[in-house]
Structure 1
């Protein structure tokens, strides 16, 4: 068994569980990798030819880095809040790719380097370190990660911070003052300032969760549309209220799914990224249909359209945080030696999946089957109970259709086999409280039909 991940931790994670200490192992590793990635960006800029990173841009990067260092000396945790913000990951990876591509500096690379100025400014604000920098807007917004954004059409903008107040001097308008409160929240009487909405902590005493609809990198380069998801959106004031109202019931419903569901959300979740209404949901996006996803490079972020109810909000977190856990675990230990060929049937997707995608999907769906079963057993109203049993039965049958493929794969490593064996134990444990026969029959028919359609569509590619 891996020396990096103790056997008891691997088994906990295999059961889609994990206490705070086990999940903390994943968090510490991901945070360390973020710091290494940021250092790689600095080193790549220093090593890049002048055509890729011209002297003026390099000087600016050095100044931003120096501001970050000064802020970290003043308040390390405050700065780490900014550097570990999930959406700093996609930015850093894209910037590193641009600095190492040997292509002449273009608009995207310049924007990426400018975003470092925004990150450094946000870190300095949180640490209480004064500064004055110039920064240009992106798409009509000048975003300061983890804090908020300024509506501005013409740049550059002069930002000055001193003694708890941020002063914004646009090129085409009056000054704007933003008050920075001790807890990191912001306020301004000027409607040009858009504060980042913070959802309450998953459990009392924890950290609030950002609802980030302002960061320019929240879906950039994610290919969300290719995966059947809608694009990111900036939510209106009335939508912020509905998000907060739906969120308010999540803690109770996660607890219904087991204390471990509350623990994983409180330890892993750092921000929600709102997506627009999913395809087919109608013009208002207020139907029960919703979509969600995660990004490996944005550890701690869940992308989602607004779920119709708190129950679906909770199940979305259960679903997506399993992907977060498994992706983080996969960077620590090798779970299989399968290639990337897309040839496996997965009842939750119309297209052939690679082995890793099959494992990811089965892992998240067995957690969902467990969550909905617990929900059904606790539900008092028959309509809620029926809905939960239907969701449970569908997820359970979907997992049952692919577990034999996973279990029979010779490509699993010892760690991967331990993980899959624990998934199988959860699957069989679900038999202790079977769904009503009608739900089971419909779920079996659903999976059988999905396989027939998949085989007709993909022919010889089936496995």
Structure 2
């Protein structure tokens, strides 16, 4: 067993659970990796040739870094809310590639400009007075990550912060100053319509941090390959949609609690922001149907990307689903779970394409958590229609997991940690049978999985099923 991960923690995670201390091990490891990534970015900039990073540009980067360090000294927790923000991960990786990979310098200048915005946001959240000139990119928005964005024309914007009030003055002639009120938790407000604050959703538990619903960060979906994974693109939401998200979110906490206290804990510990996506195909022109899409990104630890869920119940189940991916990806970074190759060859009832072993493990892990969640939901639901829907979801997810567990259990390439994890998943799978759904649900779920297998085999030929 890895010294970084006690045995009882791995067993908790194998059951798709984990208390605050256990999940905290994953969080601290991911946070350390982010800080190392940022330091690698600074070192790569210092070693980059002048043809990649001109001296003037390097000097500005070092000024931005100095402001970041000053903010970190002033209030480490506040400053690191920006440095460790999920959407800073894809940006940092993109910059590092631009500085180190031959032929990857396209867009590097504008990417590095974003460091100025990150440094300013960190200083604001740390309550550190400063003044700086930023450059608004094309597209009409100058973002201050975690805080909001200024609608303005491309060009210079002078920013000043006195420890309480933020002022932004676009460089174009006769442009009026935008005044913004800031709070220590990162919420902002302004009477000026040019300032667009990041919407902050209430914390799921007392003492936890609010959850930003971020439709402004320019790196929220960059490089994610959303279309390849069947997801819709990022979207900006209007006031009506913000109210709809807020209403749905307000019903999530009691529904997560139905799934057990561990579901609330993982949301409170792991979820750092939500990124709204457009409605998926087939959901109707207004996105009001039950169909939705969601995803996570390994490089954006703590972010969940999702189209607007139709109901609080689907919102809660989306979080259960996606936070298992967050959890397992972080665990896989901390300890090796298997030595299987990455060839896509395996049947997964929730996908039409062959999956690599790791993708199969990820999918089974998230679906067994859903099977457990929907079973608890069904047992606690008061309305017949809610119970029936929950039992149907439970049965489908459990049958899907049952179809792939033999492949996972039969792998000879699992590490000791991987074997413990899979054994706990198998134990959970069998415990779910202690409360079978009403007659008919399992038969329909079995038929669903059987049909999915036939279609998969027809589409993918001789690949392993």
> Does the residue aligned with 1:370 lie in a helix, a strand or coil?
helix
The corresponding residue for 1:389 is 391
The corresponding residue for 1:239 is 241
The corresponding residue for 1:49 is 49
The corresponding residue for 1:161 is 161
TM-score by length of 1: 0.98
Alignment of 1:110-129 (within 5 A): 110-129=109-128
Please list the CA deviations of residues 298-335 of structure 1 after superposition, one character each: whole Å capped at 9, or x if unmatched. Answer: 00110001111111010000000000000000011110
Please list the CA deviations of residues 201-235 of structure 1 after superposition, one character each: whole Å capped at 9, or x if unmatched. Answer: 01122110111111000000000111000011111
What CA distance in whole angstroms lies between the structure 2 residues aligned with 1:358 and 1:184?
Answer: 38
What CA distance in whole angstroms lies between the structure 2 residues aligned with 1:263 and 1:180?
Answer: 28
What CA distance in whole angstroms lies between the structure 1 residues aligned with 2:186 and 2:282?
Answer: 38
Structure 1 residues not aligned, in runs of 5+: none
Contact 1:345–1:352 at 8 Å: present in 2 too?
yes
Contact 2:203–2:210 at 8 Å: present in 1 too?
yes
Matched, 1:250 2:249: no
Alignment of 1:13-92 (within 5 A): 13-92=13-92
The corresponding residue for 2:343 is 341
TM-score by length of 2: 0.98
The corresponding residue for 1:407 is 409
Matched, 1:286 2:312: no
The structural deviation recorded for 1:165 is: 1.4
The corresponding residue for 2:269 is 267
Let me know the Cα RMSD of the aligned residues: 1.0
The structural deviation recorded for 1:410 is: 0.4
> Does the residue aligned with 1:143 lie in a helix, a strand or coil?
strand
The structural deviation recorded for 1:183 is: 3.4
Please list the CA deviations of residues 368-405 of structure 1 after superposition, one character each: whole Å capped at 9, or x if unmatched. Answer: 00000000001111100010001000000000000000
The structural deviation recorded for 1:105 is: 4.6
What CA distance in whole angstroms lies between the structure 1 residues aligned with 2:241 and 2:58?
Answer: 41
Matched, 1:418 2:420: yes
Deviates more, 1:418-427 or 1:97-106: 97-106
Alignment of 1:355-374 (within 5 A): 355-374=357-376
Contact 1:154–1:170 at 8 Å: present in 2 too?
no
The structural deviation recorded for 1:104 is: 7.8
Please list the CA deviations of residues 111-169 of structure 1 after superposition, one character each: whole Å capped at 9, or x if unmatched. Answer: 11101000000001111222222222242111001111011123121112123111111
What CA distance in whole angstroms lies between the structure 2 residues aligned with 1:316 and 1:35?
Answer: 29
Contact 1:52–1:102 at 8 Å: present in 2 too?
no
Contact 1:166–1:180 at 8 Å: present in 2 too?
yes
Deviates more, 1:44-53 or 1:94-103: 94-103
Contact 1:142–1:149 at 8 Å: present in 2 too?
yes
Please list the CA deviations of residues 1-39 of structure 1 after superposition, one character each: whole Å capped at 9, or x if unmatched. Answer: 111111100000000000110000000000011100000
The corresponding residue for 2:100 is 100
> Does the residue aligned with 2:422 lie in a helix, a strand or coil?
helix
Deviates more, 1:356-365 or 1:51-60: 51-60
The corresponding residue for 1:197 is 199
The structural deviation recorded for 1:281 is: 1.1
Contact 1:397–1:443 at 8 Å: present in 2 too?
yes
> Does the residue aligned with 1:41 lie in a helix, a strand or coil?
helix
Contact 1:273–1:302 at 8 Å: present in 2 too?
yes
The structural deviation recorded for 1:182 is: 3.6
> Does the residue aligned with 1:157 lie in a helix, a strand or coil?
strand
Contact 1:51–1:105 at 8 Å: present in 2 too?
no
Deviates more, 1:367-376 or 1:151-160: 151-160
> Does the residue aligned with 1:156 lie in a helix, a strand or coil?
strand
What CA distance in whole angstroms lies between the structure 2 residues aligned with 1:288 and 1:269?
Answer: 23
> Does the residue aligned with 2:254 lie in a helix, a strand or coil?
helix
Please list the CA deviations of residues 23-72 of structure 1 after superposition, one character each: whole Å capped at 9, or x if unmatched. Answer: 00000000011100000000000001111111111001000000111111
The corresponding residue for 2:170 is 170
> Does the residue aligned with 2:155 lie in a helix, a strand or coil?
coil
> Does the residue aligned with 2:305 lie in a helix, a strand or coil?
strand
